[in-house]
């Protein structure tokens, strides 16, 4: 009887169960359906083969157009994360391999030498190129996807809030928010997700820095909708209600409307704040090469919020996990941070000068970024036929610098799976392009200094003020995320020291 009831429930799912199934597996179902149609319509001779001739890159291209997209989405929907797709193919074909995703041929470059060649040739032989859902999420005018000349103008105009001179103000604002959040959570005694806290902190800090937003309702809207946009970055790009892509694009539209209304109010004089958004609006009368269009302002506001909210928050989460697993590292870091905290007047904010006096914290931060690999690869597109380390690259192929493979190469980093900040003790710099968490060259991360400061202030306040207990050690990664993040979010409770 019990078995019959189980089968009956499986054959007659409720509406809520169907919606949950569609939400979790819609991208895979769509890709599977299209792949089946392709298999039926396209002769076997036209399908991708594994290549191994001299100068060619081994790998399976799968079906025409769709290639191995179904496998990629299926792997991304597992507890091992999207990078497991790369790991499996490297086991089959070797360090260098190619595949086809979302209609484009992708080559994965596993070496620091290859990374150097590509980064040095940005805007020449190579340019940036994202998967379609990622490009759709950030918008056509985002710094991440625009062409060379536009990129130079936008990057120059965006640079001021992320300059070294802006860091002291940002650090004080972030520290104030962080101290209150940690105090509230410690006093409650309840467990909370480090990832959720970190995403809230980074989202709020970016919104405050860029647009002076302090209204909690608006801040929560930005946090929620920008997270949905980020979730759409690994999805099948079709507008079907209920899918991750659909939900992400609808969230993007809502965020764009809020941006548009904010710009209109600033331009009319109803609202004024001394911030990045105001500085862009005040350039309205400048020549075209000295200002941003409204579309460029909005796409890049979204890009900057998402960039801070996703990558930096993931690194903050991983840092506490790694420290908890390596108590000697934690003890040494705490000693350094307590020395800094005790030298500051009680109740005073952390400062930029404090960060300059955290040499061991810098090493902990570097090792966290190396081991966590919150950006698993850097995407580029070949703008002409070329050769990389003897392998032929065709114009239009996507070329992905495999940061994870480089950072986990035992020839570059001995015992690469071990969390060991002392590997950065050596006076010699790491081999060029062997440590690239923020990329390199003209398209390197605009917010590098801010990201580093955010992680270090977070570590400073947590380590010097609290001990913590982790309540879920499940190593499963969040499904369908382009950023490696624990599915649990790392739930902890805090206790004041």
Q: How far apart (Å, rounded) are the C-alpha atoms in residues 287 and 196?
A: 42
Cα distances (angstroms) measured from residue 376 to each of 2, 58, 70, 250, 437 = 46, 21, 19, 27, 9
Q: Each residue of 392-428: b (16+ CB within 10 Å) or e?
A: ebeeebbbbbbbbbbbbbeebbeeeeebbbebbeeee
445 has binding-site annotation: yes
Cβ-contact 450, 168 below 8 angstroms:
no
Q: How far apart (Å, rounded) are the C-alpha atoms in residues 288 and 303?
A: 22
CA 419 to centroid of chain Cα atoms: 21
Mapping DSSP to helix (H, G, I), strand (E, B) and coil, where does residue 111 land? coil
Cβ-contact 244, 252 below 8 angstroms:
no
467 phi, psi to nearest 5 deg: -110, 165
Rg over CA atoms, the chain: 24
Cα distances (angstroms) measured from residue 419 to each of 45, 416, 491 = 48, 8, 21
- Binding site feature residues: 445
- Binding site feature residues for heme: 445
């Amino acid at each position: 009887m019990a078995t019959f009831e189980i089968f009956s429930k499986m054959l007659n799912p409720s509406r809520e169960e169907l919606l949950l199934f569609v939400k979790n597996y819609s991208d895979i179902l769509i890709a599977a359906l299209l792949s089946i149609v392709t298999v039926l319509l396209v002769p076997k001779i036209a399908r991708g083969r594994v290549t191994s001739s001299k100068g060619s890159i081994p790998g399976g291209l799968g079906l025409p157009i769709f290639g191995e997209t179904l496998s990629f989405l299926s792997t991304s929907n597992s507890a091992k994360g999207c990078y497991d797709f790369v790991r499996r193919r490297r086991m089959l074909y070797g360090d260098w391999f190619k595949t086809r995703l979302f209609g484009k041929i992708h080559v994965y470059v596993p070496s620091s030498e290859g990374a150097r060649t590509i980064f040095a040739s940005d805007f020449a032989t190579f340019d940036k190129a994202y998967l379609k859902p990622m490009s759709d999420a950030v918008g056509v005018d985002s710094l991440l996807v625009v062409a060379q000349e536009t990129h130079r103008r936008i990057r120059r105009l965006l640079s001021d809030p992320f300059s070294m001179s802006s860091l002291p103000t940002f650090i004080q604002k972030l520290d104030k928010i962080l101290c209150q959040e940690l105090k509230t959570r410690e006093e409650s005694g309840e467990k909370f997700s480090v990832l959720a806290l970190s995403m809230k902190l980074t989202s709020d800090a970016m919104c405050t820095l860029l647009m002076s937003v302090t209204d909690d309702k608006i801040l929560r809207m930005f946090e929620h909708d920008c997270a949905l946009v980020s979730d759409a970055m690994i999805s099948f790009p079709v507008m079907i209600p209920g899918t991750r892509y659909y939900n992400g694009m609808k969230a993007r539209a809502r965020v764009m409307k809020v941006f548009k209304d904010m710009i209109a109010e600033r331009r009319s004089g109803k609202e004024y704040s001394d911030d990045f958004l105001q500085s862009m609006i005040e350039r309205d009368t400048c020549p075209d090469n000295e200002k941003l269009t409204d579309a460029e302002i909005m796409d890049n506001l979204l890009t900057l919020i998402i960039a801070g909210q996703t990558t930096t928050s993931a690194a903050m989460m991983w840092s506490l996990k790694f420290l908890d697993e390596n108590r000697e590292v934690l003890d040494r870091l705490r000693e350094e941070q307590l020395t800094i905290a005790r030298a500051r007047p009680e109740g005073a904010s952390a400062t930029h000068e404090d960060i300059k006096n955290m040499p061991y914290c810098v090493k902990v931060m570097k090792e966290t970024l190396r081991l966590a690999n919150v950006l698993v690869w850097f995407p580029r597109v070949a703008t002409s036929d070329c050769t990389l380390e003897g392998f032929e690259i065709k114009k239009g192929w996507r070329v992905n610098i495999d940061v994870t493979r480089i950072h986990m190469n035992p020839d570059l980093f001995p015992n690469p799976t071990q969390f060991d900040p002392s590997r950065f003790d050596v006076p010699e710099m790491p081999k060029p392009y062997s440590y690239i968490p923020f990329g390199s060259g003209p398209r390197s991360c605009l917010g590098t200094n801010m990201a580093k400061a955010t992680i270090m202030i977070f570590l400073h306040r947590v380590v010097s003020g609290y001990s913590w207990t982790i309540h879920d050690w499940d190593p499963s990664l969040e499904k369908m995320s382009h950023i490696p993040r624990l599915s649990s979010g790392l739930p902890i409770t805090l206790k004041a020291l």
